[in-house]
Copies of this chain bind each other. A is one copy, B any other.
Amino acid sequence: MSLTITIQALSDANRRRILDILKRGEMNAGDINKKLDITGATLSHHLDILKRADLISGRKEGQQVIYSLNLSVFEEAAEQLVKFFEIKTKSKSKKIEDWRG
């Protein structure tokens, strides 16, 4: 999954709340909804974006759809981001002045 799609999925506070909830374990849409101050339709939209980013999956069980974190994808996203934040300090050659001015 591209970093842009992952980050955009993370860029909304409600979606981050959904992920936070699902980190604790799977949950159906209705129960997730009770924890958020948005309509069911809006929740569906957010769930869809998270699904497209492959961060979560939903399985139907009776009338309900139970959502869960895609743990490996979630962890892979974390790794990608950590990698982005990495700063490779040159081992030699570059002088301090080049970095701090």
Contact = CB atoms under 8 A, between A and B. Distances in A.
A84 B16 CA distance: 9
Interface stretch (A30-38, A42-50, A72-80): A72-80
A4 B77 CA distance: 17
A76 to B, nearest CB: 10
Interface residues of A, number: 29
Chief secondary structure at chain A's binding surface: helix
Interface string A1-13: 0011001101101
16 contacts: A4-B11, A7-B11, A8-B11, A11-B11, A20-B84, A23-B88, A25-B98, A26-B101, A68-B101, A74-B85, A75-B85, A77-B85, A78-B81, A81-B81, A81-B82, A82-B82
